[in-house]
Amino acid sequence: MHDRTMSCFSSACEDKFSCYQSVEEAKRAKQRNKQISKLLKQHQKEELKRLKILLLGTGESGKTTITKQMRIIHINGFDMKERVEKICDIRKNIKESIVVLLSAMHQLEIPFELAESEKSRDFILKDAGNPDAHITNEFLDHSEKLWEDPGVQKCYERSHEFHLIDCAKYFLDKLQEIRSPAYVPSDQDILRCRSVTTSIQNIEFEVPDGGHQVRFNVYDVGGQQGERKKWIQVFDSVTAILFVVDCSSFDQTLREDPEKNRLLEALENFDQVWNNRFLKYVSVLLFINKIDVLAEKIARGRDISELTNLYPDIFPDFGQFVPSDSDISQFLEAYPSFENDHRKKSKSTRSDVHPDTIKTAVYIKHLFMKIVKGEINLKKRITPHNKDWHDEHSCEYYYTCAIDTDNVQRVLNGCRTLIIQNHLRRFGII
């Protein structure tokens, strides 16, 4: 009897203890869920403060230069270690430039005009095919001698007929400074320096807005054809797209496809982005870039008519195109003043800007905005054009000169408010 009583008592205690354990476990589980819910809300709140910007565009359009400007404007720019490391890339740019010019001279049958140039050419081409060859000061000396040859200059004037990096003239003009042992690249040197983006690059910075800090994550994706398959990897939760166009590329072909016009390729890529069903809530900021390079080309007698005549079904007649007064004012307001030229930017005083530069830039802007309005049909579209998709996003355009910090800062200041407002509107906050 005693054993039975003890057994019943023990069983009752176990049941009571088990019940107590269940209650405690339930309390702990509830507490954990509460903590998890709190963390998720906090994470969601933090994510709402983080604006994810995607930089897209075809190769050599200036995307990486834009991210460099963001570092200069919003972070601390480049430290001494980074500047010294850039010397190697700058020397590689010089080597690529002079080798390409020498090759083009041979193909275009342009002769040298100075007696010593052939000797310098032989020295340069000796290690031209070796990417690991050290670029010595002697190499730079011979490059400078060649650059002074009028025949090489004539070849440069025809650089639209072959692939030459934009910074070629800039660095070849600075050879004497660059070969100095005391040389340290300036911000402008770093902005001009060309290197191929072969992976997704990310830059983070914060900007003040309404009394608090807003965090920006900007992703620079390679623009060459082989790199574009990576674009889809960063489409998730994108706040806005900065689509960068090289408006000076109307007379050039792709490096990876010499039969494909660069401007036409940019239009087709923009068409795919604007009409992509995965991006129907994502607004696009169109940067019509390299207006400085465009001006240089126009000054050399280049014009877009040849391209528009080749594709009359895509490009309206350039000869008949007349930019409006508003278009002209917008472009001149954006066009930078170089070499400490602080003249007021207005129609009446910007005599340094050729009318055909303005006309070409505005014409190219109209081409892209026709895609936005569904007025141009291009091939390789991911999905058919559907105007209803575009109710939830917009496209704004800006004329940019990526190497000019003042120009980029003005543009980014204008973009910032628009990006933040669109972000808040998308999540129902305003």
> Does 222 carry a binding-site annotation?
yes
> Does 360 carry a binding-site annotation?
no
199 closest CA partner among 174, 185, 219, 183: 219
> Does 27 carry a binding-site annotation?
no
Q: Which parts of 46-156 are beta strand (E)?
A: 50-56
> Does 189 carry a binding-site annotation?
no
> Does 197 carry a binding-site annotation?
yes
> Does 236 carry a binding-site annotation?
no
> Does 225 carry a binding-site annotation?
no
Q: Which residues contact 402 (CB under 8 A, 6 or more apart)?
A: 62, 65, 66, 69, 191, 244, 287, 289, 290, 408
> Does 91 carry a binding-site annotation?
no
> Does 141 carry a binding-site annotation?
no
> Does 127 carry a binding-site annotation?
no
Burial label for 33, CB within 10 Å (0-12, 13-18, 19+), is exposed
> Does 305 carry a binding-site annotation?
no
> Does 100 carry a binding-site annotation?
no
**Phi then psi for 142, rounded to 5 degrees?**
-65, -35
As a whole number of angstroms, the distance between CA 177 and CA 169 comes to: 14
> Does 301 carry a binding-site annotation?
no
Q: Work out the angle at residue 8's Cα, subtended by the Cα atoms of residues 4 and 9, and round it to the nearest 5 degrees.
A: 115
> Does 414 carry a binding-site annotation?
no
> Does 92 carry a binding-site annotation?
no
Distances (CA, A) of 379 to 253, 270, 271, 272, 425: 18, 12, 9, 9, 33
Classify residue 380 as left (phi > 0), alpha (psi -120 to 50) or beta: left
> Does 292 carry a binding-site annotation?
yes
**Phi then psi for 217, rounded to 5 degrees?**
-115, 115
> Does 167 carry a binding-site annotation?
no
In this structure, the dihedral spanned by the alpha carbons of residues 138, 142, 145 and 149, taken in order and rounded to 10 degrees, is -170
> Does 136 carry a binding-site annotation?
no
> Does 194 carry a binding-site annotation?
yes
> Does 5 carry a binding-site annotation?
no
Binding residues for Mg(2+): 64, 197
Binding residues for GTP: 60-65, 191-197, 220-224, 289-292
Binding residues: 60-65, 191-197, 220-224, 289-292
